[in-house]
Amino acid sequence: MKRRLQKKYLILILAYSGLLLLVPYVLDYRDKPVERARHGFTQQQPRCPDLERTVALLWDNGEKVNGSRTAASAVNQSQPRVHIYVHATWRTGSSFFGELFNQHPDVFYLYEPMWHIWQALYPGDGESLQGAVRDMMSALYRCDFSVLKLYAGSQNVTTSFVFGWKMNKVICSEPLCNVHKRHEIGLVNESKCSKCQKRDIRELERECKKYPVIVIKGVRILDLSTLVPLVKDPTVNLKIIQLFRDPRAVHNSRLKSKQALVKESIQVLRSKKQDEKYKRLLVPNKTNRVDSYVSGAMELICDNWLNDLMLIKNSPPWLTSNYLRMRYEDLVLQPLEELRKLYHFSNLSSSPALEAFALNMTHGRGYSSEKPFQISSRDAKEAIYAWRERLSVDQISQATRSPWLRGLVFRAEGTRWNKKTSNWNVVHWDLATMDLGCFASAEPGQ
Ligand SMILES: *[C@@H]1O[C@H](CO)[C@@H](O)[C@H](O)[C@H]1NC(C)=O
Ligand SMILES: *[C@@H]1O[C@H](CO)[C@@H](O)[C@H](O)[C@H]1NC(C)=O
Ligand SMILES: *[C@@H]1O[C@H](CO)[C@@H](O)[C@H](O)[C@H]1NC(C)=O
Ligand SMILES: *[C@@H]1O[C@H](CO)[C@@H](O)[C@H](O)[C@H]1NC(C)=O
Ligand SMILES: *[C@@H]1O[C@H](CO)[C@@H](O)[C@H](O)[C@H]1NC(C)=O
Ligand SMILES: *[C@@H]1O[C@H](CO)[C@@H](O)[C@H](O)[C@H]1NC(C)=O
Ligand SMILES: *[C@@H]1O[C@H](CO)[C@@H](O)[C@H](O)[C@H]1NC(C)=O
């Protein structure tokens, strides 16, 4: 009797599962003809409606496409454009760093455009997605923004689709919008810019082509070697600025904004290179899961940093001459020197207004803003050393299984952090001691 009942339930469950699978299928196929018909009527292009989804065809803006290049996108050989990628990772101060380019009147700046790829392809693993990320970069450097349509889910892409558009100096300035003047230095007022009329993305393309320097800031290239083909490619001629920051401070900042970073941490952790990827994602203790993802991803990021440093150390001059390494700590402690270095590398000239801006941003009050991803004036020194007060022994010991985090713990284990005696006595972090931060096997106190 009991058996029969169980069987009944089993059949019921199977039937229900089948139904669940069937429903989306039916919905999918029932909707398609309707959608086609609608498209056909509204856009009056009843022929081959599926071709509408072909980006390249729709992108033909009346310009004859012959040979490999349209007239408008031809590179102006008399003045080659400078293409720069700010190679950073989460919570390294890269928003502020990028802002130094966003403010420069000769720069067309894009903040994390590759965010769209990760969103659209979640939970695709970060490492494999690097191919798509690089592809998008190479299109954007040519001011070909049609690539954004691939991830927009719509053909009607406007400036408001661009990630971070409300802070973008070009989108919020004349001629696209009149709330700012492009040559005036100062943060964009987001609430004002959000009222700007949304422009067709092609108008942004046209603006892009006017600029001698294009800068893209991103965190989704995990591995510098991925970019080498773009450095080699004479039409892109990429220059790379890599931004580093004390890994302990990065870790602290990541834990502070862990909820916002958890999805991306999972994508980093799913990277194919990691044999342990499934183990890392299966954390038995639910309460620790978020922390564990965010810390685990940091471990991988540290790995990648070390790889990048080794790659550059062993690179031929054609690569090293197109590569600049910067530390967040230097930037906030000596903003003027670093700013000049940065602009010189980027073939840009500095100006008193830009220097004043950099000074202002690093000499504010407090070390952090309320909103974790907002750019604002900070107290630089506090920002640098905040981790020493905030990274609690508990937070660290949660993840002691990872070697680099063990390194962080080396002084704190068994004791409480003491501000006065400064047990964390590695005050001055530099790249030479990075493996101390990442993989500290060194003796405490060095
Ligand atoms: C491209 O078009 C121009 C005229 O618009 C023509 O002179 C030229 O020969 C064409 N090039 C090729 C490769 O078809
Ligand atoms: C190319 O650059 C020169 C000099 O800056 C400029 O005069 C010319 O108009 C530019 N040509 C195009 C097609 O943008
Ligand atoms: C750098 O800028 C100058 C003008 O300021 C320009 O003549 C030169 O071609 C630029 N260099 C590169 C590599 O674009
Ligand atoms: C931004 O502009 C609004 C008016 O649109 C103003 O109320 C606000 O104070 C401005 N914010 C800043 C930071 O200047
Ligand atoms: C596309 O965007 C424009 C604004 O640029 C808007 O006027 C138009 O209605 C949009 N079309 C659709 C189908 O959403
Ligand atoms: C899970 O984590 C919580 C909070 O950190 C801790 O109190 C609890 O003992 C942990 N449980 C297990 C099974 O590790
Ligand atoms: C930075 O700029 C803001 C707004 O212009 C101003 O209120 C503030 O006093 C400046 N801070 C410093 C340290 O210059």
What span, in angstroms and rounded, lies between the C-alpha atoms of 126 and 280? 15
Helix (H, G, I), strand (E, B) or coil at 396: helix
Sign of CA dihedral 391, 397, 398, 401: positive
Sign of CA dihedral 98, 99, 102, 106: negative
Helix (H, G, I), strand (E, B) or coil at 42: helix
For residue 355, the enclosing domain spans: 82-143+209-389
Cβ of 360 below 6 Å from ligand 7: yes
What span, in angstroms and rounded, lies between the C-alpha atoms of 239 and 230? 9
> Which of 76, 78, 79 gets mutated to test ligand 3 (max ligand atoms within 8 A of its CB)?
79
Q: Are residues 403 and 269 part of one domain?
A: no
Q: Strand order of the sheet with strand 238-244?
A: 107-111, 213-218, 82-87, 238-244, 323-327
What span, in angstroms and rounded, lies between the C-alpha atoms of 41 and 97? 48
Residue 175: cis peptide before it, omega within 30 degrees of 0: yes
Q: Are residues 426 and 382 part of one domain?
A: no
Residue labelled with tokens 């007022």: 189
Question: Which residue type sits at 186?
Answer: G
> Which of 41, 154, 156, 161 gets mutated to test ligand 5 (max ligand atoms within 8 A of its CB)?
156
Is the whole-model pTM more than 0.85? Answer: no
The encoded tokens of residue 252 equal 């602290």
Q: Are residues 415 and 270 part of one domain?
A: no
Tell me, yes or no, whether 200 lies in a domain: no
Give the number of the atom of ligand 2 that is nearest the alpha carbon of residue 209. Answer: 14
Q: Are residues 383 and 406 part of one domain?
A: no
Q: Are residues 396 and 317 part of one domain?
A: no
137, 144 contact by CB (below 8 A): no
Q: Are residues 405 and 315 part of one domain?
A: no
Q: Which helix (H) or strand (E) holds 80?
A: none
275 Cα to the center of ligand 6, angstroms = 26
Tell me, yes or no, whether 204 lies in a domain: no
Tell me, yes or no, whether 174 lies in a domain: no
Question: Which residue type sits at 108?
Answer: F
Q: Are residues 297 and 267 part of one domain?
A: yes
- Nearest protein CA to atom 12 of ligand 2, as residue: 76
The encoded tokens of residue 442 equal 């060194």
How far are the Cα atoms of 42, 165, 178, 353, 367 from residue 105, in angstroms, in the given order?
Answer: 41, 17, 16, 11, 28
Give residues (CB < 6 A) around ligand 6: 285, 287-288
Helix (H, G, I), strand (E, B) or coil at 240: strand
For residue 212, give the nearest of 80, 36, 381 by alpha carbon: 80
Question: Which residue type sits at 52?
Answer: E
Tell me, yes or no, whether 115 lies in a domain: yes
Give the number of the atom of ligand 3 that is nearest the alpha carbon of residue 349. Answer: 5
Per the structure, the count of domains in the chain is 2
Looking up residue 137, the CATH number of its domain turns out to be: 3.40.50.300
Q: Are residues 407 and 384 part of one domain?
A: no
> Which of 66, 68, 69, 73 gets mutated to test ligand 1 (max ligand atoms within 8 A of its CB)?
66
Per-residue pLDDT of the chain (446 residues; tens, 9 = 90+): 667 878 888 888 888 777 776 665 555 555 444 444 444 444 443 444 444 444 443 344 444 444 444 444 445 455 689 999 999 999 998 999 999 999 999 999 999 999 999 999 998 999 999 999 999 999 999 999 999 999 988 878 999 999 999 999 999 998 999 999 999 999 999 999 999 999 999 999 999 999 999 999 999 999 899 999 999 988 888 999 999 887 777 887 888 888 889 899 989 988 865 566 566 677 666 667 888 888 888 878 877 887 787 788 888 888 999 999 998 888 888 899 999 999 999 999 999 999 999 998 888 665 554 555 566 666 666 666 666 556 655 555 444 445 455 444 333 332 333 345 444 433 344 454 454 445 433 333 32
What span, in angstroms and rounded, lies between the C-alpha atoms of 19 and 23? 6
393 Cα to the center of ligand 2, angstroms = 59
Q: Are residues 357 and 322 part of one domain?
A: yes
Q: Which of 389, 404, 428 is the last residue of a domain?
A: 389
